[in-house]
């Protein structure tokens, strides 16, 4: 009986370490095409997109590793673009996901870009994600209670 617990524990550990290698999921929308994309963003109104299915035509082998939110002011009109990000780094090179890069151009053009990769849907409001570690600990507790009374 003890050997079974060890085997199950090992399998759960393997699933924990290798099962979490999925791609990131991000909100994908443009406020100029869908008014639900503006801030404040209600992430219950749009489906989340698995970035593994998105590809850049010019780099088909490149996978998205982050989410990106862009806020642009063009000719006095604000627009929001949320998408999967293929290039760059979280916080646009700062390593801090809470840092956004802001640029001002000519002709009243303003741009703010935020990138993140800490969790699915990080380019919007927070969401609840169940941790693989929580599942593993719960399973271990159940086996301990069941087999070691």
CA distance 141 to 31: 47
Q: Between β-strands 49-50 and 25-26, what pairing exists: parallel, antiparallel or unpaired?
A: antiparallel
pLDDT per residue over 15-51, tens digit each?
A: 444 444 468 999 999 999 999 999 999 999 999 999 9
**pLDDT given for residue 97 in this prediction:** 78
**pLDDT given for residue 126 in this prediction:** 35
Contact (Cβ atoms closer than 8 angstroms) between residue 80 and residue 31:
yes
Candidate from 67-81, 110-124, 125-139 with smallest mean pLDDT: 125-139
**pLDDT given for residue 75 in this prediction:** 84
**pLDDT given for residue 87 in this prediction:** 86
Percent of the chain with pLDDT over 70: 66
CA distance 82 to 80: 7
**Who wins on pLDDT, 74 or 135?**
74
Report the predicted TM-score, pTM, of the whole model to 2 decimal places.
0.65
DSSP class of 52: G
**pLDDT given for residue 106 in this prediction:** 82
């Amino acid at each position: 009986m003890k050997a079974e617990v060890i085997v199950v524990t090992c399998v759960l550990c393997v699933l924990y370490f290798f099962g979490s290698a999925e791609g990131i999921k991000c909100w994908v929308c443009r406020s100029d095409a869908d008014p639900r994309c503006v801030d404040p963003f209600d992430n219950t109104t749009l489906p989340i997109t698995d970035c593994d299915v998105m590809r850049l035509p010019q780099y088909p082998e490149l996978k998205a590793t982050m989410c990106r939110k862009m806020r642009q002011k063009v000719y006095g009109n604000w627009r929001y673009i949320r998408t999967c990000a293929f290039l760059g780094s979280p916080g646009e090179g700062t390593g801090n996901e809470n840092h956004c890069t802001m640029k001002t151009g000519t002709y009243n053009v303003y741009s703010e870009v935020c990138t993140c990769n800490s969790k699915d849907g990080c380019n919007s409001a927070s969401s609840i994600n169940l941790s693989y570690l929580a599942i593993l600990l719960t399973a271990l507790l159940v086996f301990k209670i069941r087999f070691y009374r």
